[in-house]
Structure 1
Amino acid sequence: MSWDLDQAHQDFQASTRAFTDRQVRPLVEPAEAAGTFPAELWKQLGAAGLLGLTVPEAYGGADGGALPVALLAEELARASGGIAVTALASAYMAAPHIVAHGTEQQRQRWLAALVAGEAVAAIAVTEPDTGSDVARVRTTARRGDDGGWLLAGSKMFITNAGLADVIIVAARTGEPGRAGLSLFLVERDTPGLSLGNPLPKMGWHSSDTREVHLDNVAVAPDALVGAQGRGFYQIMEGFQLERVALAAMGIGHAAECLDLAREYTRQRQAFGEPLTRLQTVRHRLAAMEVELEAARLLTYQAAARLDAGHPEAARSVARAKYLAATAANRIVDDAVQLFGGAGFVEESAVARHYRDARILRIGGGTDEIQLEILTRGLA
């Protein structure tokens, strides 16, 4: 038993941090101001091998697991939540459905391009009146005259919708409930597919988020991802890696804010001496560190258990997602408090992390969903 990363993962973490410092941080403020993901980053991420960590080597990936994804998510989020989630949504929330359930033709068509940063993916499940209750998805897919499918409905809050070359769409092919959902690949510019304007958001300003409309979108028979009627279960399976990534993003936000708060309180003078001379400030920083390390350990454990196929993996993921998201929000709030008025202005880094961290308690499964997972069987 070890509570530390092995050397290979430490090396990966260091290289990922170096990439983030060199390639990502200089682009954060322009991306926030423009409200767009820096397009040049896609191929840079691809060339660094950061978009194919879980993709088999045959398609250009590293054939790795959830722990490297967690390390990547943590480092990217230290720089920017909006930039982090854009890359993670394509590579580790959408693409894994093609890896796990796609046909060989689908894998050949998309995986190498996604790994190289030459294509972008999105996944569209949430609807205007259906969020956490995935089994209630109303978008429909009915057979067309040519044996293909006609998709009709609307999706809401879809990350990467305006950037995606392919969107994985959840639609109902059968009866109400879990057994009636299937997943489909819908390519950009398919007739009947339209997008809303980018949604103004509290945070993740550099992430593209839109409504997706499907007006009898015709797709070929081979657009089906996995088995018909298995979409709900495929989504639940995909949520595990997604939640690890989001938990790790929370760790990144919290770690960055703790570092910033430590530096600021050492330098900021109050009553003739640095803030760190005040016991209440030192104790607050120590409490932030304890909460951060607890969330980090739980997240790394969840990732390792997911990779190992551990029987408690799903519960570990739920614990990590809940704790990391809630801890991140408390830690970034404490950082703003320690910065005082300087932490409340828009251009402050801690203000940006404060805005970005809030969604982590909602996206990928709310706090309430994680607690429900952990209390099943008690009622």
Structure 2
Amino acid sequence: MSVTTLQPSGVSLIRFGDYGRDIAAAVRAGFTSHRVVYAIATLAYVWGIIECSLVGLPVNYGLVSLVSGTSLLFLGVLIGAWLAFDLVRLWRAGYDGRPSIALLHRLQTDILAPTRIANALHAFLANGIFFVGFIAIKKSIPLAVPFSWDQTLMETDKLIHGGTLPHDWLMPLVGSPAALFFINVSYNLWFVVLLFCFFWFGYAKTDSRLRQRYLIAYLSLWLLGTCVLGTVFSSAGPCFYGFTVAGVNPYADLLATLKAANDIYPIWAVPTQETLWQSHLAGHGEVEGVSAMPSLHVATSVLFILQARAWGKRWAVWFTGPFALLILMGSVVLGWHYAVDGYAGAVIALLCWWMAGKLAPAEEKAELSSRPS
């Protein structure tokens, strides 16, 4: 989002009719430039509707509405903060015009520029269509393909980690209540980073090739990860291992440690897992969809690294690299995933990023600057 310096004079507003026509033209053009994104979204939507119909589940739009509402709130806060920053900047610069006119000009030409509105509309519309189907597919997985891979994934974890489960290596290092609380906070921060990255590219003023590549990769990894591989390797995860595999639960001590830590610090994974399993048993609920393999938390975190490297901002790479490692660690010690789920997620992110590079528009446009342009 580029910064435009407002001069003391010469600020004029765009006529409403012209502004509206510019928005309409940008929206029309966007349907063509976002055709790959819409194709992925439509595929997921149709797949989800058909699968829910076949397994006898209703399509739930509740979570999509919640995410959309959160996104709109986030956008409103972002625009408000942006305008407040501009107002302070004008005051400090000694601006001698009418601040209201200057800020309206900024809204028309930058914050709510026609191309930015069009890009946001297409990104968020496609995202909404996609996740209606995605959620439908995810919650249908146990009915379409009952959980059967948990024991195999547990044994694979043991095999590639020298005969020891990964959490047994990690818990002596991060098993204190305070450390688990920090890890859970970081794990939940993933959603904020996810929103930030999606807004950064979705709300960009310029529909660059990097923007298209990110959006295509972002939707593709959810589709390939959970919808395809999550169905093929249907599994519930370590936190639900005792419900899906008979015999001794190798994660019992881990879950007991998490519950004990939750008595001291809030470990949100504990009540969330309980709610998720109850929703799974009931067939509906506030949080729906049990699927462990692969880890989309890790997959999207690796995608953050890839887009940061392509963007060329060193600070973004320095943040996203350690953050991805922290998410991988959190997915294991919080009982959400087997370590191999995370490794698979990383591979999927690399594959989808490469594929998106092939599918994104070939023409090079202005790339994103230090702020989304």
Larger radius of gyration between Structure 1 and Structure 2: 2
By percentage of residues, which structure has more helix? 2
Identify the structure with the greater strand proportion: 1
TM class by smaller structure? under 0.3
> Looking at both structures, which has the greater relative contact order when contacts are Cα pairs under 8 Å and sequence separation is at least 6?
2
* TM-score, reference length from structure 2: 0.24
